[in-house]
Structure 1
Amino acid sequence: MTCHHEGQELVWEATVEVPDLEEFSYKYAVVTSERKAVRLEQSSRLLQLPASLTAQSLIELQDAWQAESHPANLLSKSAFADAIFQARPHISGIQLPEVSPGEDEVIVRFQTWCWAAHEGDKVEVVGTIQQLGSGDRNLALELKETDTPNWAGQVSVPVEAFPFTYKYLLTSRDGKQDEQSGEARTVSLPSDATTDTSRPAVILRSDGPFASAQMWRGSGIAVPVFSLRTMSSIGAGEFSDLKKLADFCAATGIRLIQLLPVNDTSVYLTWWDSYPYSCVSVFALHPLYLSLESLTDNMPGDIQDAIDEARSRLNGKDVDYEQTVSTKIEIAQCIFGRQGKEDLESPEFQEFFASNKNWLEPYALFCVLRKLFGTTEHWQWGTLSTPTPEMVERLTCPSQEHYTSLQFTYYLQYHLHKQLLDASRHAARQHVALKGDLPIGVSKQSVDTWMHPNLFRMEYSTGAPPDYFDRNGQNWGFPTYNWEEMSKDDYAWWRQRLSNLSQYFHAYRIDHILGFFRIWEIPGSCSTGLLGHFRPSIPHSADDLNEHGIRDIDRLTFPYITWTILQETFGKNASQIVAKYLIEFKPGYYRFRPEVDTEQKVEEIQARPGSPDWLQHELAQTRTGLAALHQNVILLPKDKDRSAFYPRIQLMDTSSYQAVDGGWKQHLSWLHNDYFYHRHNKLWSEHALRTLPVLMGATNMLVCGEDLGMIPTCVPPVLQQLGLIGLRIQRMPSEENQEFGNPTRYDYMTVASPSCHDTSTTRAWWEEDAERRERFFYLALGLQGKPPAHCTPAIMRTIVRQHLQSPSILAIFPMQDIMALSPTYISRPAHEETINDPAVRRHYWRWRMHVSLEDLLEDTDLIGDIQELMLGSGRCLESDLPVLHTQ
């Protein structure tokens, strides 16, 4: 195609001859000079030709590029099509009525696509010509839905009526009209269209999406399943509790429930497994969320008594993870022993097993071997460390003595599947979407790394560089992905994982979406995140350093430890530290002994059990000091041959940097900034555009990305190109030199939230810092008077309203913030409601609502208050609400 400018627009055009067909499909692509497609429309366009055309007829297509990332396209996703919007019949193959053009007339066909139209709604065209109502909306041309979501109509227009303008309208069944945004569109004839041979017989206006002036905006609640509380749940929230939560959302006008990951995390069989992002299987669901009473309709009396006793014993203030999981499994085993055979012989189970056998059998076998070996460190399982399909088939056959244990695992997963699926379908019937969470990693001690070791780099860990959450960076302990290997089968593991997730969820959040651009990769010998590097990335070569006059590589790649630094770090104990852990390799300079020459080895320095508190405290200080010495380094060798190097992040803050020759400082600072801020934008953009479209194309779920932290400049354009929804946390602004974000300035393609599970709650944050609270009160909220010491319901209401009034497509609030709207539910100390502290690796994820969902459903004051906020912000309509409660 060739291009030229028409006013401010760049127009591409070409003339082609087409066969004598009634219809044909086509799409546009952006290609290189070598004819390689760099961008391709994903959806084909269908052109239906009027029967009145002859072989010599000229058809002019006036198209607009159909970007899959257009915000209007979001309404086609499962969150809307299958939950939030009322389902309506899918339409296809509808033909338009024929139009017979008169002399000196041209057929003009209008086409747009509109996912926002509900059953009974109309899409119309109003324009400046008589055929389009002459500007009278009551006389507009009504379009027909020919193929969901495409709407089309055609009229015959006299030549002298050109040019003319028009707009699309969406008219709801109750008569309300919504007009497309932007300027009216213009239809013109070619400047030389004076004869029949040069005048088009048909002008086809393919205008892409109906871009509403009032784009849909909604709201959501974020809460972990384990945090829910109902009268029937035991010890922790259960999948069945989601039904009551969906009822609450439906009553208030909230349209989405955002959850944390729900996969099995039983790695250590201790409370450490409460961390929901370290899954032992990306497919198996966690027994913690099992509803025991839903396992059978005919519960034996003694087992019912055990269930009632467990409910009384375990329903304390917070989740007792270990006791809840072990109790549920014990009681489920009793039920299975008496009635499980019936379930296993049912057609429903047989269908479930056949559909999930490829992951279910290895997972069940993994659970058996975990118990047999007493560890999930599968690399310690001898010959069973390297499984094959034949080995799995042999060890899961019915003749094995552990077959009953395998069957119990199948039974558990079958009922967990049924319960979550039932909750998802119930939520959809209430027009509430479920949003899941896709963790960035899996545990090293998982079924996935056992069965597919080629897909992971087990000698490394994932994490995050220093950020808002932790000045030492984070080390999550997950292996990094071998993307090169994953690409060989077109990322089949990822596609299967997403397909499995889509059974239950209408949307999902990509945890740490930056990991799909680049991951912070940390050597397995490290315990913090400071000594990591980006992958993929381009390290600095020895030649690079040489060009900058840097030649003493050992000085920069070994921890810089001097007697002065030791005294500053350990004080009077410096001599003892040297004697026990260091070697003086030249006067006044030290290196680590082999037994403590990594962060991981330092972390293993522990006192004997039963040692006095003073000794344990002293060793903790020693570990902290030795770790700081390890981190006092400038360059990190990429390989053992030491031919390429990564700059240590924030190297300018180290005492090693302060001590280098003054001439080197400028060069080292430049190398650092080049590596972290400039060197990789093209590389990371290309990597994300290879991986993220695979995830997004695997299902029709709505996709959001957690894009907090150190954001490269390449990230926003890629998210925009792919139509990915980002995250905005007010206390973590994406704008530079801003202390607080301004929700009124957020983009539409964002989720607006005052806090999240990785931060303290809004109430707790309010109480942490009086001076910051005061700045937030005046500057962010625009309030007057003296800020209260606690976040009152009135303050919380102001914060919630501010987020609801943002342009963001979704405003999602933690359950703690929703409950804080009522004075009834703020008696619990605010600091107890924090879900996670990212700075504490072994944090106990145990927060549970101190109020039952039944109580919230009965609280007409709170429901009415939330309804008022939703209606006032335009995030729901009065017709969306079952009954508008009055106060």
Structure 2
Amino acid sequence: MKIHFYLRYHTHFGQTIFITGNTGALGNDNRAEAFALSYLDNEFWYGSIEMPDKKALKEINYRYILREEGEVDILDADADRVVDPTGKVTKDIGVIDTWNTEGNFENVFYTLPFQKHLLKEHYKAPKLKEPKLYTHEFKVKAPLLNANEWVCITGSGKIFDNWDVKKLLPLKATGNWYSIKINLSKEDFPIRYKYGIYNTRTKTFIFESGNDRVLHQHPVKKSTTILHDGFIHLHRTWRGSGIAIPIFSLRSTKGFGTGEFNDINLLVDWAMNTGIKMLQFLPINDTTATHTAKDSYPYSAISAFALHPLYINLDSVAGGKHASLIKALNKKKKSLELQPHLDYEGVMKFKLSILKEIFHAEKEFFLTDINYFNYFDLNREWLVPYA
């Protein structure tokens, strides 16, 4: 079995395209051993690899590399392209790919913040029977779908009823891709096609923008063709509001004249209720160097690991055991709360004095606690110079 790779990409003189992947013919993910493609025409780079016997076949993950002498390698942004030759009854597999530039704005929607939190999963495509025999598998990415929307494909030829939008073929979600397997063995080539969005609520269909996509017949007969068609061409973007704020500005009635780590919970609750999507905080590392107001500058950290004692909540540290110590300070607490601005030196001096009292009261206990020694051993590299 052979796998034929066609990459749609326009290069300039001196550039070469390589493929790296998890099989020997592609260098076993070693970029230095990547497989070089050859320039085919103004639209495609091409190369083919011979696969081992059927017993040794496995799913192949691969990625393209743009290489130029004297320059840093540029990786194609799609690290999730897959070819599965196992179980294929066809002689060869043709793969037609489109280069995905790292700078394409759609790529940001596949990062962890968007995938885990900011984009809701609501794609519910109809259950379709996949054909037992198929010649082509179409794949496309569409990161910004709304509720009640399907990704569909239509085009020329009998299989698409010649662009009849009443007989659209919906795609199913497969990882980051939307895909559909189609038998085009009885169609005339080339086939022109487009993706689009069908709204199940309004019963309307919107074609993607741009020129028709064109599919030519693969020169090897009785082969399977897989198309990674990049992103669906929609004029959509994402909007979300966020807040950038220093922790000391999150002042609440539970703090001592400054915002504290505990107050982040209150901000998160408020953000959830108001639809705020992102929270960003100024640096929270310790900046104590001069014990003056100069240390209030959050970008002059003295440690990359130690957190600033300014944001410690004294009630949480004291707990029930030393609650009386904190209650006795209510008058001082109220005076700090009434300050129109953060009294950095006053709050720091006050908090450090209370923390020292609690430290001396608890020293004998935590110096015999195995958890303390485990923590110290794990963090010795930064704790010792910080102290």
Is TM more than 0.5 here? yes
Cα deviation for residue 161 of structure 1 reads 5.6
The code of the aligned residue for 1:186 comes to V
Q: Which has the higher strand share?
A: 2
Matched, 1:68 2:102: yes
Cα deviation for residue 151 of structure 1 reads 3.0
Out of 208, 218, 223, the position equivalent to 2:245 is 223
Residue in 1 that maps onto 2:115:
81
CA distances 1:457-479 after superposition (whole Å, capped 9, x unpaired) = xxxxxxxxxxxxxxxxxxxxxxx
Residue in 1 that maps onto 2:21:
none
Measured in 1, the distance between the counterparts of 2:198 and 2:318 equals 49
Matched, 1:318 2:341: yes
Out of 177, 186, 189, the position equivalent to 1:150 is 177
Out of 54, 63, 72, the position equivalent to 1:27 is 63
Q: Give matches, 1:90-239, under 5 Å.
A: 97=130, 99-101=132-134, 107-116=135-144, 122-132=150-160, 135=163, 139-146=167-174, 148-157=175-184, 158-160=186-188, 162-169=190-197, 180-189=208-217, 193=219, 198-199=220-221, 201-210=223-232, 212-239=234-261
Cα deviation for residue 188 of structure 1 reads 2.0
- 1:307–1:331 Cα contact (<8 Å) kept: no
From the superposition, tell whether residues 212 and 144 of structure 1 become closer, same or farther in structure 2 (CA, over 3 Å): same
- 1:126–1:137 Cα contact (<8 Å) kept: yes
Q: Give secondary structure in 1 for the equivalent of 2:248.
A: helix
TM-score, structure 1 length as denominator? 0.34
Cα deviation for residue 319 of structure 1 reads 0.9
Q: Give matches, 1:496-511, under 5 Å.
A: none
From the superposition, tell whether residues 330 and 171 of structure 1 become closer, same or farther in structure 2 (CA, over 3 Å): farther
From the superposition, tell whether residues 257 and 133 of structure 1 become closer, same or farther in structure 2 (CA, over 3 Å): farther
Measured in 2, the distance between the counterparts of 1:47 and 1:16 equals 13
Out of 14, 29, 33, the position equivalent to 2:47 is 14
Q: Give secondary structure in 1 for the equivalent of 2:310.
A: helix
From the superposition, tell whether residues 274 and 51 of structure 1 become closer, same or farther in structure 2 (CA, over 3 Å): same
Cα deviation for residue 233 of structure 1 reads 2.0
The code of the aligned residue for 1:30 comes to L
Q: Give matches, 1:412-423, under 5 Å.
A: none
Matched, 1:300 2:322: yes
Matched, 1:3 2:25: no
| Identical aligned residues as a percent | 25
The code of the aligned residue for 2:113 comes to A
Cα deviation for residue 62 of structure 1 reads 1.3
Out of 311, 316, 319, the position equivalent to 1:289 is 311
Cα deviation for residue 153 of structure 1 reads 1.9
Q: Give secondary structure in 2 for the equivalent of 1:199.
A: coil
Q: Give matches, 1:228-267, under 5 Å.
A: 228-267=250-289
TM-score, structure 2 length as denominator? 0.73
Measured in 1, the distance between the counterparts of 2:367 and 2:252 equals 27
Q: Give secondary structure in 1 for the equivalent of 2:347.
A: helix
Matched, 1:280 2:302: yes
Q: How many residues align?
A: 339
Cα deviation for residue 267 of structure 1 reads 1.2
Q: Give secondary structure in 1 for the equivalent of 2:66.
A: strand
CA distances 1:421-467 after superposition (whole Å, capped 9, x unpaired) = xxxxxxxxxxxxxxxxxxxxxxxxxxxxxxxxxxxxxxxxxxxxxxx
- 1:29–1:37 Cα contact (<8 Å) kept: no
The code of the aligned residue for 1:322 comes to E
Cα deviation for residue 142 of structure 1 reads 3.1
For structure 2, the residue ranges without an aligned partner over 5 or more in a row are 1-36, 123-128
CA distances 1:516-542 after superposition (whole Å, capped 9, x unpaired) = xxxxxxxxxxxxxxxxxxxxxxxxxxx
CA distances 1:297-321 after superposition (whole Å, capped 9, x unpaired) = 5253422314523321212111111
From the superposition, tell whether residues 58 and 367 of structure 1 become closer, same or farther in structure 2 (CA, over 3 Å): closer
From the superposition, tell whether residues 242 and 199 of structure 1 become closer, same or farther in structure 2 (CA, over 3 Å): same
Residue in 2 that maps onto 1:366:
385
Whose RCO is larger (CA < 8 A, sep 6+)?
1
Cα deviation for residue 276 of structure 1 reads 0.9
Measured in 2, the distance between the counterparts of 1:346 and 1:128 equals 73
Measured in 2, the distance between the counterparts of 1:257 and 1:172 equals 34
Measured in 1, the distance between the counterparts of 2:322 and 2:61 equals 62
Measured in 1, the distance between the counterparts of 2:331 and 2:112 equals 41
From the superposition, tell whether residues 233 and 33 of structure 1 become closer, same or farther in structure 2 (CA, over 3 Å): closer
Q: Which has the higher helix share?
A: 1
Cα deviation for residue 109 of structure 1 reads 0.6
From the superposition, tell whether residues 122 and 294 of structure 1 become closer, same or farther in structure 2 (CA, over 3 Å): farther
- 1:59–1:200 Cα contact (<8 Å) kept: no
Residue in 2 that maps onto 1:49:
85
Cα deviation for residue 50 of structure 1 reads 7.1
- 1:58–1:202 Cα contact (<8 Å) kept: yes
CA distances 1:35-82 after superposition (whole Å, capped 9, x unpaired) = x8722236252102373534xx23322101133332112122232233
Residue in 2 that maps onto 1:817:
none
- 1:261–1:276 Cα contact (<8 Å) kept: yes
Q: Give secondary structure in 2 for the equivalent of 1:327.
A: helix
From the superposition, tell whether residues 52 and 82 of structure 1 become closer, same or farther in structure 2 (CA, over 3 Å): closer
Cα deviation for residue 2 of structure 1 reads 3.2
Matched, 1:327 2:321: no
Measured in 1, the distance between the counterparts of 2:319 and 2:110 equals 38
Measured in 1, the distance between the counterparts of 2:204 and 2:69 equals 49
Cα deviation for residue 275 of structure 1 reads 1.0
Q: Give secondary structure in 1 for the equivalent of 2:49.
A: coil
